[in-house]
Amino acid sequence: MPKRKSYTVKEKLEAVTRVKQRDETEAYVSRDNGIPELTLRSWIMDEQKMCDFVNTVDSSDGRKRNKAMTASDPELGKLFTVDLSEIQAETPVSGPVRSVEA
């Protein structure tokens, strides 16, 4: 059984664009990208949700994500994303991470 592949929002939107704007068939795009047709159809149905997601989050970060999920409170979600990005930039992690017991 093949291993599942995770696609970024950018890759999903590119596949949807090929079907909608370039008039390529769903079957051709799915075969070309190795995406099951049912998965591609679900991306087409979620196109508006993904576009809204990319427009509400920082475009460089939003297109790299795999899931188009936002917080119920947009301001809180934006603050959390910014803080988390800053923390990750300030605290590089290399090697295994182990929990420290008290």
Instruction: Give the integer Cα–Cα distance in Å for 77 and 57.
Output: 9
- The range of the structural domain enclosing residue 66 comes to 9-90
Q: Is residue 102 part of a domain?
A: no
Q: Is residue 99 part of a domain?
A: no
Residue 6 contacts by C-beta under 8 Å, 6 or more apart in sequence? 66
Per-residue pLDDT tens for 74-102? 676 666 655 555 666 666 666 666 666 65
Q: Report the predicted TM-score, pTM, of the whole model to 2 decimal places.
A: 0.56
Q: Is residue 67 part of a domain?
A: yes
Per-residue pLDDT tens for 22-53? 888 999 999 998 889 999 999 999 888 888 77
Under 8 Å between Cβ of 41 and 62: no
Contacts 24+ apart (CB under 8 A), 22-31: none
Split into its structural domains, the chain has a count of 1
Q: Is residue 101 part of a domain?
A: no
Q: Is residue 75 part of a domain?
A: yes
Instruction: Give the integer Cα–Cα distance in Å for 53 and 10.
Output: 11
Q: Is residue 4 part of a domain?
A: no
Q: Is residue 98 part of a domain?
A: no
Q: Is residue 41 part of a domain?
A: yes
Per-residue pLDDT tens for 64-75? 555 555 566 667
